[in-house]
């Protein structure tokens, strides 16, 4: 079977399964099987697939048709220009979280001395590793309650050559942080539990619920972090917290209750509330 025919077959299977970007996913899966970038793949659509290649491709299409997320199937996801290993132990990094990294870099580059940073709820290590790569003098504590998630963080730190500066600690939020830090960055669970049944199956059935479900209002972990954060920040420190698009008012109110400092609510590129900054 030629590539073009295989792409048509795979696209149809995925479309029938309700996958939104069926053709794109078919192209990415076939490129993964063949070790080709998408542009190269599309330039060679008359190439014949070997029986082994076709079998492997159909296997991956079958997995995607169950609505298993594509990053879990191919084992990687790009975030902030870096390639991260991902699997079912961790949340798939989202583009909107890049705003948090951008703001953290802005603060760190204005600091007089190299910062010490804590990434709370590290997951794949996308935030911790991206900051360590772009800030070669900083130390980052990557904190997560899940040993499996921390194993993925450690793998990604090694992959990008920053394992010596990304310290992985199993921790319930900030409980295991050994010293106060200059910056806390956190992307915690913030989906309200009643919203869970309406989420796409890629999220609801595959991603780790403990990394997403924030309780009845989506604020359980956020509230606990804000209660813990004060003693964990050095004088003049800051906390950057990703939030859900409808949580700006509630989270800023919680921040005022538990921390003394200036508060800034920031929007993402879609104009939605996405980040709360608290500056001591």
Q: Is 90 exceeded by the pLDDT of residue 25?
A: yes
SS (H, E, C) 223-274: HHHHHHHHHHEEEEEEEEEECCCCCHHHHHHHHHHHCCCEEEEEECCCCCEE
Confidence of residue 112 (pLDDT cuts 50, 70, 90): confident
**CA 205, CA 199: separation in Å to the nearest integer?**
9
Tell me, rounded to whole angstroms, the distance of Cα 90 from its chain centroid: 8
The pLDDT tens digits for 113-141 are 899 999 999 999 999 999 999 999 999 99
Cβ–Cβ under 8 Å, residues 104 and 80: no
Chain-wide mean pLDDT for the chain? 95
Distances (CA, A) of 172 to 145, 188, 221: 5, 12, 10
Q: How many CB atoms lie within 10 A of CB 257?
A: 10
Residue 162 scores a pLDDT above 90: yes
pTM: 0.93
Q: Taking Cα atoms as reference points, which of 42, 59, 58 lies closest to residue 4? A: 42
pLDDT computed for residue 17 by the predictor: 96
CATH architecture of 3-66: Orthogonal Bundle (1.10)
Phi/psi region, residue 155 (left: phi>0; alpha: psi -120 to 50; beta: rest), is alpha
Phi and psi at residue 19, to the nearest 5°: -75, 125
Contact 5, 57 (CB under 8 A): no
Sketch the domain layout of the chain as residue ranges: 3-66, 87-279
CATH architecture designation of domain 87-279 = 3-Layer(aba) Sandwich (3.40)
Q: Rounded distance, CA 154 to CA 159, Å?
A: 9
Q: Which of 40-54, 169-183, 212-226, 227-241 has the lowest mean pLDDT?
A: 40-54
For the segment 216-235, what is each residue's pLDDT rounded down to a tens digit?
A: 999 999 999 999 999 999 99
């Amino acid at each position: 079977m030629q590539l073009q025919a295989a792409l048509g077959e795979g696209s149809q299977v995925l479309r029938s399964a309700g996958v939104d970007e069926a053709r794109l996913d078919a192209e990415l899966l076939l490129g993964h099987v063949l070790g080709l970038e998408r542009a190269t793949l599309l330039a060679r659509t008359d190439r014949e697939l070997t029986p082994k290649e076709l079998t492997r491709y159909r296997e991956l299409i079958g997995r995607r048709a169950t609505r298993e997320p594509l990053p879990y199937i191919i084992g990687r996801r790009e975030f902030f220009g870096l390639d991260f290993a991902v699997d079912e132990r961790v949340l798939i990094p989202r583009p909107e979280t890049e705003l948090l990294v951008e703001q953290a870099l802005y603060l760190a580059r204005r600091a007089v001395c190299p910062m010490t940073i804590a990434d709370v709820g590290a997951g794949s290590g996308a935030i911790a590793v991206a900051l360590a790569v772009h800030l070669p003098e900083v130390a980052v504590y990557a904190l997560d309650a899940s040993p499996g998630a921390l194993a993925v963080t450690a793998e990604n730190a090694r992959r990008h050559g920053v394992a010596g500066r990304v310290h992985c600690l199993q921790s319930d939020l900030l409980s295991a942080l050994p010293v106060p830090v200059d910056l806390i960055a956190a992307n915690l669970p913030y989906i309200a539990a009643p919203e869970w049944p309406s989420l796409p199956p890629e999220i609801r059935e595959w991603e780790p619920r403990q990394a997403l479900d924030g309780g009845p209002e989506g604020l359980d972990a956020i509230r606990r972090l804000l209660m813990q954060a004060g003693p964990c920040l050095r004088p003049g420190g800051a906390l950057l917290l990703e939030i859900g698009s409808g949580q700006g008012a509630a989270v800023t109110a919680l921040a005022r209750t538990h921390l003394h400092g200036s508060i800034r609510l920031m929007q993402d590129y879609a104009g939605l509330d996405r980040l709360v900054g608290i500056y001591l």
